[in-house]
Amino acid sequence: MAHRSLRRPIERRRRPAPRAGYTLIEVVVAMLIACVMITAVLSTALSSKISGGKNDRRLIASQAARHTTSLLKNLVTGCNCSIASGRCYVSGVGACSITGPMPGNCGGGATVATCTESYSLNNPPLADSRGTVYALALGSHTITGLLPSEFEAAPYNASVIYYVTPTSQIINGRPVPLVNVTVDWTEI
């Protein structure tokens, strides 16, 4: 009896043919990267939209503050206007020979030469919360009419406020006031 070999001949195994498609890991990583990119784009768009409105309001407020400052610079020449009482005198001893920069305040038939209110910011469309007193009278003044109406109304309720305080500096016999201008509003 011949010995038969129980061994089978060695066959080389072939690798399976590559399948079309992606593995689960590749799909999960791709989805994760896509989610991160979409989140970044949306957050950038949302933050620019929100900060754009805030920047617009800041710009409007700074323009109103600069405009108030320029109006008040014109009123510094208010000759003998009293920063304490807020009155300007146009006749009598030491009367001012220069007319104020707001001649529109001399309504009611008064001429600029006899007007005691031409140094006030209470001149349409502007309105001073203190009325027709000297614009640099001591204290707090709230000005309306400088800001757009939709900014002065709810929900922002914006207002231009300037504070006049005395200083020890005296020029031409008058104390020079210190003025701080602020614009306040409610941010929503």
Residue 97: phi and psi, rounded to 5, are -95, -10
Q: Tell me, what's the pLDDT at 32? A: 96
pTM attached to this predicted model: 0.62
Calculate the alpha carbon distances from 6 to 1, 3, 10, 12, 138 in Å.
14, 9, 12, 18, 117
What is the C-alpha separation between 78 and 136, in angstroms, rounded? 9
Peptide bond into 101 cis (omega under 30): no
Quick: pLDDT tens for 66-88.
998 888 886 765 566 666 666 66
What is the C-alpha separation between 108 and 48, in angstroms, rounded? 51
Tens-binned pLDDT, residue by residue, of the chain (188 aa): 556 666 677 777 777 777 777 888 999 999 999 999 999 999 988 887 777 778 888 899 999 999 988 888 867 655 666 666 666 655 555 555 555 566 555 554 444 444 556 677 877 788 888 887 778 888 999 999 989 998 888 889 999 999 999 888 877 666 778 899 999 998 87
What is the C-alpha separation between 166 and 186, in angstroms, rounded? 30
Q: Tell me, what's the pLDDT at 79? A: 60
Query: For the chain, how far is it from start to end, CA to CA, in angstroms?
Result: 103
Calculate the alpha carbon distances from 67 to 21, 25, 90, 142 in Å.
67, 63, 27, 14
Residue 171: phi and psi, rounded to 5, are -130, 130
Structure tokens at 1: 């009896």
AA letter at 10: I
Residue 89: phi and psi, rounded to 5, are -105, 130
